[in-house]
Amino acid sequence: MKYLAIATFAAGLALAGAADAAVFIVNAQANSSSGGTGVSSIALSTGQSFTVSVDSDDLWNAGALPRWSNADGLTGPLVATGSDDSGEVAGTLIGSPFTAWTQHGLTAAYGSLVGEIGGIYKVLGTGFSGQAWNTGTLNLYYWDENAGDNTEFVSANISAIPEPVTWTMMILGFGLAGTALRRHGRGVVHAQA
């Protein structure tokens, strides 16, 4: 019984540890939704909670100026800071609103960070917190129609909340360990001085 409790608890901890946060580099050209391959990140189950965050100052590019954006895409004007990834002089307009692109059943801004699970695509942008819409690996893409002129990359921080089965195994392990300790304690005779 004691060994079953320890094994169950250890399995729960191992599964919970597997859900730790990780950083994935998404390249605007290599990981383009048109002509690229998605970055394979973490495995998720339908309904499992997860988060994705990308620094809003982390930029990538869809071609000639003004096509720089963060992971939210080309949705508004963006001005160079002089120290950003564009290499342009501070004050230069490096990004501006652009039309949306429709592909794989999703319409999203060019330059958006998009996630795909089991063939279904959703916008993640600079910040996503929600539940997996399908079961499978979360693949990450730069959303656009022409990978040929894309440059730079963003770093996506992804974390998932362990599935209920993991927590169940850990709680079961605690319960079995407690039961084993109680049973073990009953058979102990204490010497009196």
Asked if residue 171 has pLDDT above 80, the reply is: no
- The 8-class DSSP code of residue 137 comes to E
Element (H, E) at 27: strand 22-27
Q: What is the pTM of this model?
A: 0.77
Residues 89 and 178 in one domain: no
Query: Which residue did the predictor score with more confidence, 170 or 78?
Result: 78
Query: Which residue did the predictor score with more confidence, 129 or 176?
Result: 129
Distance CA 105, CA 43 (A): 22
Q: CA of 43: how far to CAs of 15, 161, 167, in Å?
A: 12, 12, 17
Q: Percentage of the chain with pLDDT > 70? A: 74
Q: Hey, what are 183's tokens?
A: 């049973």
Asked if residue 3 has pLDDT above 70, the reply is: no
- The 8-class DSSP code of residue 160 comes to E
**H-assigned helices in the chain:** 2-17, 164-186
Distance CA 146, CA 33 (A): 9
What pLDDT was estimated at residue 70? 98
What pLDDT was estimated at residue 157? 98
Residues 152 and 181 in one domain: no
What pLDDT was estimated at residue 178? 60
Q: CA of 32: how far to CAs of 21, 37, 48, in Å?
A: 24, 7, 26
Question: Which CATH number covers residue 146?
Answer: 2.60.120.430
What pLDDT was estimated at residue 134? 98
Q: Percentage of the chain with pLDDT > 90? A: 73
Residue for token pair 């001085």 = 193
User: Does residue 179 lie within any of the structural domains?
Assistant: yes
User: Does residue 191 lie within any of the structural domains?
Assistant: no
What pLDDT band is residue 17 in, cutting at 50, 70 and 90?
very low
Residues 98 and 11 in one domain: no
18-60 residue pLDDT tens:
456 899 999 999 999 999 999 999 999 999 999 999 999 999 9
| pLDDT, mean of residues 150-164 | 91
